[in-house]
């Protein structure tokens, strides 16, 4: 575990310090029948926004990585979304836990219908931990952009407020989960959901905060 942590840390530091080396982030591919591939324009748009406004050097083409693949250790941040079922294999569980406890970070965006399955599967990865709602003063809401009331409401699902949940490992936030918010939809091309520019900007700004927090924590 110490060796894995060191490798990940060196990869992250090298990507941050080298102006000529771009870092890649990835979409998580998972089994179970859920549409992990939803929102295909989301991450490319978020990456472009971060590169322009945070001056990051993220590869404009996100990768796709299987939950059980050792390739996941190449990415400081993985993004997960979808509407349906998730059933991680034993290898997925082992791999994701090693990745997250070793320095990796996952952002999960409920595209509607993910919550029940996500909570069940994340409990398998971290049986000792539960999702906790992050207070509005948590640093993830106050990176480049300030969100004094927490997550912006991007899409209406069940007439509930947007909530940001986290899982902590040894006091480090390893997973951020946006619920009743749908940040991923807000990052999509304007023609997909016809969101206003103001709504898309809020979604992209909050996404940039997540990226900045994951890279710098």
Question: Which pLDDT belongs to residue 192?
Answer: 81
SS3 assignment, position 205: helix
CB-based contacts of 57, cutoff 8 Å, min separation 6: 15, 18, 19, 21, 22, 23, 51
CATH code at position 124: 3.40.50.12140
pLDDT tens for residues 196-215? 999 999 999 999 999 999 99
Domain limits at 154?
2-216
Average pLDDT, the chain: 90
pLDDT at 3 over 80: no
- Give all strands (DSSP E) within the chain, no chain letters: 26-29, 63-66, 77-82, 105-110, 132-133, 163-169, 172-179
Q: Which of 180, 214, 217 is nearest to 50 (CA)?
A: 214
Tell which phi-psi region holds residue 101, choosing left (phi > 0), alpha (psi between -120 and 50) or beta: alpha
Q: What's the rounded Cα separation, in Å, for the pair 29 and 13?
A: 26
What confidence tens digit (pLDDT) does each residue in 84-142 have?
899 999 999 999 999 999 999 999 999 888 999 999 999 999 999 999 999 999 999 99
Number of domains in the chain: 1
Q: Region 12-36: what's the mean pLDDT? A: 75
Distance of alpha carbon 149 from alpha carbon 137, whole angstroms: 9
Residue 109 pLDDT: 94
Asked if pLDDT for residue 17 goes beyond 70, the answer is: no
Query: Above 80 in pLDDT, residue 183?
Result: yes
- 16 pLDDT above the threshold of 50: no
Summarize pLDDT for 42-75 with one digit per residue, the tens.
999 999 999 999 999 999 999 999 999 999 999 9
**pTM (2 d.p.):** 0.89
Residue 6: pLDDT over 80? no
DSSP string, 132-165: EEPPTTSGGGBSSSB-TTSS---S-SSS---EEE
**Cα–Cα distance measured from residue 140 to residue 135, given in angstroms and rounded to the nearest whole number:** 10
């Amino acid at each position: 575990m110490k060796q894995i942590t060191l490798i990940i840390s060196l990869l992250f530091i090298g990507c941050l310090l080298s102006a000529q080396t771009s870092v890649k982030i990835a979409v998580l591919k998972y089994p179970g029948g859920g549409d992990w591939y939803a929102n295909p324009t989301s991450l490319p748009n978020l990456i472009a926004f971060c590169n322009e406004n945070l001056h990051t050097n993220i590869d404009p083409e996100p990768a796709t990585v299987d939950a059980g693949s050792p390739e996941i250790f190449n990415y400081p941040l993985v993004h997960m979304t979808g509407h349906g079922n998730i059933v991680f294999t034993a290898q997925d569980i082992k791999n994701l836990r090693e990745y997250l406890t070793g320095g990796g970070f996952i952002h999960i965006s409920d595209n509607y219908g993910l919550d029940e399955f996500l909570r069940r599967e994340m409990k398998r990865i971290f049986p000792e931990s539960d999702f906790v709602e992050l207070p509005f003063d948590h640093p993830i809401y106050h990176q480049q952009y300030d969100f004094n009331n927490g997550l912006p409401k991007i899409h209406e699902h069940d007439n509930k407020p947007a909530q940001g949940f986290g899982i902590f490992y040894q006091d480090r936030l390893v997973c951020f989960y946006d619920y009743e918010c749908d940040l991923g939809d807000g990052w999509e091309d304007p023609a997909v959901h016809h969101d206003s520019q103001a709504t898309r900007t809020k979604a992209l700004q909050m996404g940039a905060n997540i990226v900045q927090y994951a890279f710098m924590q």
